[in-house]
Amino acid sequence: MLYLLYDAVQRHLDLKYGRFAHWLDRELRQTIPDGVVAYCINIYDGGNGRWSIELVGCAS
């Protein structure tokens, strides 16, 4: 029973990671704006049980 629960949780996490990876790949394929020398990923609690992620382009 514990294995089945773990397996269900793992499939759920894999799905979420797949969606995140797809989003990140899509964003990073775009032309890098002038002045951006690095990227930073911010992950934060967006409230109501949701997490939010920002991809921030940083200047030097």
Domain spans of the chain? Answer: 2-58
SS3 46: strand
Contacts 24+ apart (CB under 8 A), 48-56: 53/20, 55/24, 55/27, 55/28
pLDDT at 1 (0 to 100):
45
DSSP 5: H
- pTM for this entry: 0.61
Residue 13 is predicted with a pLDDT of 65
pLDDT in the model for residue 3? 54
